Structure formats: structure tokens, C-alpha cells
Structure 1
Amino acid sequence: MMNRNIINEIEKLSKRPKLFEKGTGNIWTEPYISTQMLKAHLDYKSDRASRNIEKVKKTVTFLKETTNKGEGILDLGCGPGLYAEEFCRNGYKVTGIDFSSNSINYAKESANKQGLNIEYRCEDMFNINYNEKYDTVIQVFGEVNTFSDENRNKLFDKVKNALKPGGLFIFDVSTPVHRRKNGLNKNWYVSDCGFWRGEAHIVFEEGFEYSDNIWLDQFIVIDNEEIKVYRNWFHEYTLNTIKEIVLENGFSKVNVLNGLYSKEVEEDSEWLTVIAAK
């Protein structure tokens, strides 16, 4: 039976947090969970962590029409290198950066096995300091959605500094349509072994909706040793809001496309691809 201290702690962590307040756990740096994340990235038929391999290839094919072969590409949040490898095979010079040491170590090993010349760095993308080195910077699968306005704008400044004059920042964002389709979870379960822990644990899932199209997916995880809360924040964007934000952050022009490929944006678009020029 749970004691009163555990119940009080769960009750405290279940309260609606302030906007973009961090949790006590980190899925990218904790050894067990980061290994689970890597497995999800490498499930080539799934869209759980990375898009499935066919979508990855189609995305790279589309982006080849936007960029020129041989240009330097900086892949932010590169994970295990799925996009970086495809670009390298197509003649691009690629640098991949990711916060997860598990992902970067796998990416380096994979590139070496295949004879692909890709530079990988285990680094926080908010700490990069490049000066007009790259023709294109990419960030895929909605990572921009997970940042507060302050961090998003900080990253945009980092990207602008990294781009050569006329260079492109290409990223995708999900829209409020995507969130409404997927909804908010409120659930709990007990597991002997799963994504969050390799031992017996309890998970409480919660969802919170905020103003300005901001949502939180929260997971409280309890095991024999501790209680941790993991928070995944999402700021969804419409066509007009993402255009306005990109231009306010000093990019010279912006083009927004439907989904992952070149289509006209529709009212029910779940994803938008943004092409911003320095």
C-alpha cells in the first residue's frame, strides 16, 4: 500500500505546472530511457520517435529539390542519423548534432560501418556557435514545437548565425489540428518492465491545455526508489503564426508548405514545412 508521503508527492506533481516548467526527469540523458528512445528511433516502420524510413527518404528527396547537392547541411537534433545518412548518400556534406550520447554514439558507429563521412557532435543545440558555415540547417519532426518562445527565438538566432547569406532554415511544425486529433491523455497503469523503467513501476499520464495553442503531456513515474515527472511541452502553430514568428526573428522571407512535401496548405493540415531564408 502507498504511504501518505508518496500520495502527497503525486498530488503535488499532478497540479497544473507553470508554462514550460521542467520536470524532474530527462528522457534524453537517463541511461535506461535514452536507450528506449534509441530503439524507438530505429524502429523503421514506426513514427513514434522518428518518422518511418519511407517518409525519411521521401523527405530527403523533396528537400533535394530545395537545396543544391554538395551544400553543407547542419542537422539539429539528428538522433541516430537517419536523415544525415540519406543526405550524405546523396552527396551532401553533413554535420549532425544531438543531445543524446546514445544516439550520437550509434550514429557514429553506423556511419563508420557504411563508409559515410558525417561529422557528429554530442552537444546541446542551444550551445552551437557557428559563423556563416552552413548553406542549410534542418530540424525535423516538430522539435520547434517543444520549445518555449524564449528558447525558440534563441535557437533561431543560433541558426541565423550558422547560415551563410541566403542560406535556408528548413523545419516542420505540427498544428492545432494535429493536437485536436490526438487529444489529451488521462490514464494510469502498472508495468513490470516498459519504456520508462526496466523494473516494476507505476505511470500516471496527464494532459493539460493552455492558451495560445500550448499543451503539456505529463508522465509521473514511480518505482521502488523514487518518483519522477517527465514533461513534454508542445506549442502548436498555424500557417499565419509561424510565418509571423519567423519574419519577426529576422529571416528575410519564408515559405510554408503542407505536411512534409510541396502541397498547398489546407485548413486540416496537421503538419507544416517551413522554409526560411536568411
Structure 2
Amino acid sequence: MFKELMYINSRPLPFEFYTASDLWTDEHIAKQMLNYHLHPNIDAASRNSSFIAKSSEWIINHFGLTEGKKVADFGCGPGLYTTAFAKAGADVTGIDFSANSLAYAREVARNNDVEINYVNTNYLDFTADNHFDLITMIMCDFCALSPEQRKTMLRKFYALLKPRGSILLDVYSFNAFNKLSEKRVFEPNLMDGFWAEEHYYGFLNTFKYEQKKVMLDKYVIIQQSKVRMIYNWLQYFSPADLEAEIAACGFTGIELLGDVAGSKYQNESNEFAVIIRK
């Protein structure tokens, strides 16, 4: 038991493990994630509904998402942005790991009488013959990727963009990182049954990597039949660090914003957004 507890509470190297498939493809967890996506008043898997409406309108107007414009939304979830883009007239592709979220998104598209191409895959593996005018990655998904994965993603974006195309993504800031601290939690049915339908015991270790500006929520879920470990990594950025990563992948134009609704950048904000141009 002592060795097991030592392993449960051990600190891995930054981005040493990648468990996105466990988070997005487990049937029970996928249902819980969809509930978070659709909650109108909280910023969990998605932003709150009022911000989504505000940011969707700004994106449509700023990037001119009318008929003939091609848009790809990476990590589209249940289609909260893709539906708005398609209703504006754009030709929209949504990419997501969760089949459950995409089933909901397809139903919403049918109900709104719009056509959206939804692709169920890990967006790191996505390929397409199409080229896009705009690529979006919203809700700080970029932060969940390792440095190598981010490089892969940016190079993929570069290849998928039309000439003079744009990318819009948001990230967490150093300001948010500085407010966080390490913690340890043990609780029966941790997070009120989020992780499994049957009874389980859950351990949460939050690790802070000061030098790398990385946070990890490491979940160990102990059920009667199995033990699972889920690693939720988040990278935090300064504008300069993010711009350096982007420039290293061949992009030349970068515009700093406060968020994906087009607000002005502020140093004290917990997150910020960038428009990247090819």
C-alpha cells in the first residue's frame, strides 16, 4: 500500500504523460463533459453562453464569415461556435475527440438547417485536402498541449491555411499562473461521480512547475475493477513566449487581444488571445 500511495502522489516530468483519449472517449466522462459544455452560466468545458454569443458575433464580423469563407474549429465540442459560423453562411468544419459531443453538434446542425462537416478525431491527427480562411482553437485548448504537440499543431495550421488566412486562439497568462498553488485532495466519488458511474475513490494532486510555467492536475481514480490515471496539463504564457513559438513555425503577423471577443489586451488579465496571420 505504501508503494502505491507513493506512486499516486509522485510528480511526473512536465508533459511526461498524455491521456486525452481517456478524458474524451470514455462514455461516462463524455456525458459529464457535455453537461459542462452546455451549462449556460459557467466557464468549464466551454465559456458561458453570453460570452459565446458575444465572441461568435465578433468573430463573424471581424473575419467576414459570409458565404464562401472556409472555417475550421479545432476542439469544437458540441458545436457552440461552429453552428453560429455556419448560420452566418461560412463553410464550416469542426474537429473533436468526443463522439458524444459531435453527436449533439450534428443534431443541433440539423435543427438549425445548416450543413457542417464534423470530424471525430484527435485534432493532432487531423488532415484535410481543404484550405481554410480561418482556423479557431478556443477555450485555451492550445495550453493543454506539450511543446512538441504545439509545434505540430502550428505547423498543421500553417499547411491548412489559405494564403493570408488567419488563426484565432486563446491561452492562459502568467498572471493566472501566479495565483495558483499546489494541493492534494482525496475523496470518495471525487467531483460528485464525474469519473465513473459506480463507486470509486479519487486522488487529485495539483503540481506547479514554476520554471516551465506549467500546472498539472493528476487524477487517480480507483474503482473495484481498475485504476486509472488522468493527466490534465496546462501551459501558461507570456505574450513574448507565445509569439516566439508562433514565429518559429513560419508565421509573420501576430496581433494581441484580450480575448476571442476582440477586447483590448490587459497585462493583469488571466488569459489573452492572438490573431496569427500566414
- The one of 14, 33, 37 equivalent to 1:37 is 33
Q: Secondary structure at the residue paired with 1:40? A: helix
Unaligned 5+ residue runs, structure 2? none
The amino acid of 1:88's aligned partner reads A
Do the aligned residues in 1 keep the contact of 2:55 with 2:262 (CA within 8 Å)?
no
**Aligned twin of 1:256:** 256
**Aligned twin of 1:242:** 242
Show CA shifts across 1:238-271 (max 9, x none).
Answer: 1111112111111121001113333432221111
**Aligned twin of 2:227:** 227
1:59 aligns with 2:55: yes
**Normalised TM-score (structure 2):** 0.92
The amino acid of 1:267's aligned partner reads N
Do the aligned residues in 1 keep the contact of 2:137 with 2:168 (CA within 8 Å)?
yes
Closer, same or farther: CA 75–185 of 1 in aligned 2, 3 Å = same
Closer, same or farther: CA 23–250 of 1 in aligned 2, 3 Å = closer
**Normalised TM-score (structure 1):** 0.92
Instruction: Give the % identical residues.
Output: 28
Unaligned 5+ residue runs, structure 1? none
How many angstroms does 1:50 deviate by?
0.5
How many angstroms does 1:91 deviate by?
1.9
Do the aligned residues in 2 keep the contact of 1:171 with 1:274 (CA within 8 Å)?
yes
- The one of 131, 134, 153 equivalent to 1:133 is 131
The root-mean-square deviation of aligned C-alpha atoms, in Å, is 1.8
**Aligned twin of 2:82:** 84
How many angstroms does 1:114 deviate by?
2.1
Of 89-98 and 7-16, the range deviating more from structure 2:
7-16
The amino acid of 1:136's aligned partner reads L
- Distance in 2 separating the partners of 1:171 and 1:23: 21
- Distance in 2 separating the partners of 1:147 and 1:179: 16
The amino acid of 1:227's aligned partner reads V
Do the aligned residues in 2 keep the contact of 1:131 with 1:161 (CA within 8 Å)?
no
Matched positions, count = 273
- Distance in 2 separating the partners of 1:89 and 1:184: 43
Do the aligned residues in 1 keep the contact of 2:138 with 2:260 (CA within 8 Å)?
no
- The one of 1, 4, 14 equivalent to 1:19 is 14
Do the aligned residues in 2 keep the contact of 1:186 with 1:207 (CA within 8 Å)?
yes
1:181 aligns with 2:208: no
How many angstroms does 1:130 deviate by?
2.9
